[in-house]
Chain A
């Protein structure tokens, strides 16, 4: 299997009153032939699963360091992008953020996505508390948690992100722009099949990974990362959410993998 993802964010307006940015994100997963999902109307899992999404996000600054904003996205995540209405993804968000004590922040938000595993056409409310202390930075909210602990004496960084069945845990050694790390990752991707019979069903790919790697600056502007590891407990299935499977499960054998990434800001 192979996976590639590319994202571009371009601010088109930025002043003391607000910012407006546009984004494009795309991904592609190459799947081996002959993966069969028991009980699915699929003859086999498509060999090519892609996504392409266009988005815009507006943030307006208010008095008292408060911010309010919203965003929209339109795209497709499917075996045949934009082939019909069932393959279209739509997303929207609204948020309001204001400072608290110690430069902490509260954020209240409303999210909508038709490519989420539970609700198809229902906005989801959220609240989170963002804080920063001498050694701990975090965001704790409903229903996720992000914590980053950097002990003072040694150049270690411990990071934990958990949102239901998305889990990212990492221990890194070294300064922020040159680190060695080891971690665990549990993630899922979903697509909307162009020929699905029950349009509430998504095609899921669920996998876990353990890995070792390094991240470092290249040419002072590109933060790049390389890692190797083992991907395991991998499966395809169709359903309306984790625990709401509508088909059987097609397991994919565990495998070693190599991964790389690059981030540029200018």
Chain B
């Protein structure tokens, strides 16, 4: 029972490790070859400041 739990924990740990590198996956290369374009991207969010 304990070994099954550890196996599940190991699988879950592997799952979690990928979380941090998800956005670094070379998706372009998965589809063949990267483009030769310069890419610039910006994103942001804000929320209203509420008076106490």
B2 touches A (CB below 8 Å) = no
A128, B41: Cα distance in complex, Å? 26
Q: Is the CB of A2 within 8 A of B15?
A: no
Residues of B1-39 at the interface with A, using a CB-CB cut-off of 8 Å, are 12-22, 24-27, 29-39
- Within 8 Å by CB of B21, from A116, A122, A241, A242, lies A116
Q: Which residues of A contact B34 (CB under 8 A)?
A: 11, 14, 19, 21, 57, 59
Please give, as numbers and ranges, the residues of chain B lying within 8 Å of A71 by CB-CB distance: 24, 26
Other-chain residue from A122, A163, A241, A258 in contact with B22 (beta carbon distance below 8 A): A163
**Residue contact B47 to A255, C-beta cutoff 8 Å:** yes
Chain B residues lying within 8 Å of A219, measured Cβ to Cβ, are: none
What DSSP secondary structure best describes chain B's contact surface? Answer: mixed
Total number of B residues with any Cβ neighbor in A under 8 Å:
35
Q: How many Cβ-Cβ contacts under 8 Å join chain A to chain B?
A: 175
Are B44 and A261 neighbours in the complex by a CB distance under 8 Å?
yes
**By the criterion CB–CB under 8 Å, are B43 and A259 in contact?**
yes
> A96-137 interface mask toward B, CB cutoff 8 Å, 1 = contact, 0 = none?
010000000101010101011111001010101010000000
Task: Say how far A33's CB is from chain B's closest CB, in angstroms.
Answer: 12
A14 to B26, CA, bound (A): 16
Contact surface of B with A, Cβ cutoff 8 Å: 12-22, 24-27, 29-48
* Partner-B contacts on A (CB < 8 A): 1-11, 14, 19, 21, 57, 59, 61, 65, 67, 69, 71, 73, 91, 93, 95, 97, 105, 107, 109, 111, 113, 115-119, 122, 124, 126, 128, 130, 139, 142-144, 163-166, 188, 190, 225, 231, 241-243, 255-266
Besides A166-B22, A241-B13, A258-B47, 14 more A-B contacts (Cβ < 8 Å) are A3-B46, A5-B44, A11-B36, A11-B38, A65-B32, A105-B30, A111-B21, A117-B16, A124-B17, A143-B18, A242-B16, A242-B19, A257-B45, A262-B42
